[in-house]
Amino acid sequence: MQKTTGIHSICVSAQTVVHRIARPVRYLASSLSSTAAEYTILLTLNAITGGVFVPVVIARTISCTINYLMNRKVFASQGSVIRTGIRYAIVAAVVMMLSYTFTNAGVMAGLSLWSASVLTNSSLFIVNYLGQSFLVFGRPYDALDRARTFIKNYSTFIAKVQQQVTQIFACHLPKFSVENTALAHIHLPQAA
What confidence tens digit (pLDDT) does each residue in 58-117 have? 998 898 899 899 988 888 777 788 888 998 999 988 988 898 899 889 889 998 888 888
Beta carbons within 10 angstroms of residue 173's beta carbon: 9
- The dihedral through the CA atoms of 144, 146, 147, 153 has a sign that is positive
Q: What pLDDT does residue 191 have?
A: 55
Please say whether the beta carbons of 63 and 31 come within 8 A.
no
Helix ranges (H only) for the chain are 2-49, 53-74, 81-108, 113-123, 125-130, 140-172
At residue 47, does pLDDT exceed 60? yes
Q: Is the pTM above the cut of 0.85?
A: no
Q: Tell me the residue type at 115.
A: S
Q: What pLDDT does residue 173 have?
A: 57
Reduced to 3 states (helix: H, G, I; strand: E, B; else coil), residue 18 is: helix
Q: Tell me the residue type at 82.
A: I
Beta carbons within 10 angstroms of residue 96's beta carbon: 19
Q: How far apart are alpha carbons 135 and 144 in whole angstroms? A: 11
Q: What pLDDT does residue 81 have?
A: 87
The angle, 0 to 180 degrees and rounded to 10, between the axes of the packed helices 2-49 and 113-123 is 140
Q: How far apart are alpha carbons 51 and 43 in whole angstroms? A: 10
Q: What pLDDT does residue 1 have?
A: 47
Lowest mean pLDDT among 17-21, 25-29, 123-127: 17-21
Q: Which is higher by pLDDT, 170 or 111?
A: 111
Q: Under the phi-then-psi rule, with left for phi > 0, alpha for psi from -120 to 50, and beta for the rest, what region is 181?
A: beta
Q: What pLDDT does residue 66 have?
A: 92
Q: How many residues does the chain have?
A: 192
What is the percentage of the chain residues whose pLDDT exceeds 90?
12
Q: How far apart are alpha carbons 24 and 9 in whole angstroms? A: 24
Beta carbons within 10 angstroms of residue 38's beta carbon: 25
Q: Which is higher by pLDDT, 56 or 174?
A: 56
What is the average pLDDT value for the chain, to the nearest integer?
77
Q: What pLDDT does residue 18 have?
A: 62
